[in-house]
Amino acid sequence: MPELPDVETYRRYLAATALHQTIKHVHVDAPSLLADTTPQGLGRALAHHRFEGTYRHGKYLFAGLDSQRWLVLHFGMTGRLEYFKHGRDRPRYTQFLISFTNGFHLAYVAPRKLGRLALTDEPQVFIEKHRLGPDALALDMHALAALATRRRGCIKSWLLDQKAIAGIGNIYGDEILFQARLDPRRRLPDLTKLEIERLFRKMHDVLERAVAARADPARMPRSWLIWNREKGGHCPRCQARLCRIRIAGRTAWYCPRCQR
DNA sequence: AGGACGCCCTGTTCGC
DNA sequence: TGCGAACAGGGCGTCC
């Protein structure tokens, strides 16, 4: 689930719940999630400190500490955050737990343990180290067009490549291409200027509206592909049977009539 | 450069 | 109905 709109929603959630409170201690249940640190390292960095700010880049969430260090969270395919008070509310599959002196806890929940937790001195340093592309919502039309000319492969793999553009995953990638009416297999050099502009507008529009919907599909329009992206699904525009193909190792859903 | 693949994990769905 | 196989919204490393 966690693509840009989901992670932005988590960022707001963390900012609304867990800022400015002293961390009593942390507990790591799944050390395999830690990148370049240890449970002890994480404990030392967080205990007796407070989160004072948040930042998001693509699918990465950064929580800034009063020590000038940052906790980095990536949610893999199934991660999420949950803030709670009572021990009985501790979510199943909690892999990492932050306990505050006010008695509340922030759980990093990930049934599949495919996420990542790390520490960094500065989000920008982490972003450069991982060679992430610009955040999908920070791009303007010009920048997107410039990026597009440097690429020769197919459009869907490009949208999903975090080193090209950061934040788009399989679900919203399909949604953007559907709304831009572009076949996911189209090659970038073959796109016209108008098509690139359409792609940019839809990328922005889909991501902004998904953020406004708090990444909850139930709050998104029925006319979106997201409602129909399943076996036997039909195009919400023309009712044609949707096609399902494999691109870049992931399932791509598209309408063979509307997307060219 | 970019695409295909295997792998990391585990819960759910599919298909015989 | 039951069971193993295939699949799921991510990312990384390797190979070609």
Token look-up 């008070």 returns: A85
CA of residue A111 to C1' of nucleotide B9, angstroms:
8
What per-residue confidence (pLDDT) applies to A230?
Answer: 85
Name the residue closest to C10, CA to C1': A76
- Phi/psi region, residue A218 (left: phi>0; alpha: psi -120 to 50; beta: rest), is alpha
What per-residue confidence (pLDDT) applies to A248?
Answer: 84
With a 7 Å cutoff on the CB, does A31 touch strand B?
no
Q: Which nucleotides of B are covered by protein (CB under 7 A)?
A: 1-11, 14
What per-residue confidence (pLDDT) applies to A62?
Answer: 97
CA–CA separation, A35 vs A32, rounded Å? Answer: 8
Q: Which nucleotides of C are covered by protein (CB under 7 A)?
A: 7-12
- Strand C surroundings (CB within 7 A): A 1-3, 6, 58-59, 74, 76-77, 112, 114, 130, 160, 162, 169-171, 215, 217, 249-251
Q: How high is the mean pLDDT in each 10-residue block of chain A (260 residues)?
A: 93 97 97 94 97 97 97 95 95 96 97 94 94 95 94 94 95 96 95 96 97 95 93 92 90 94
What per-residue confidence (pLDDT) applies to A231?
Answer: 84
What per-residue confidence (pLDDT) applies to A140?
Answer: 95
The pTM assigned to this predicted structure is 0.97
What per-residue confidence (pLDDT) applies to A131?
Answer: 93
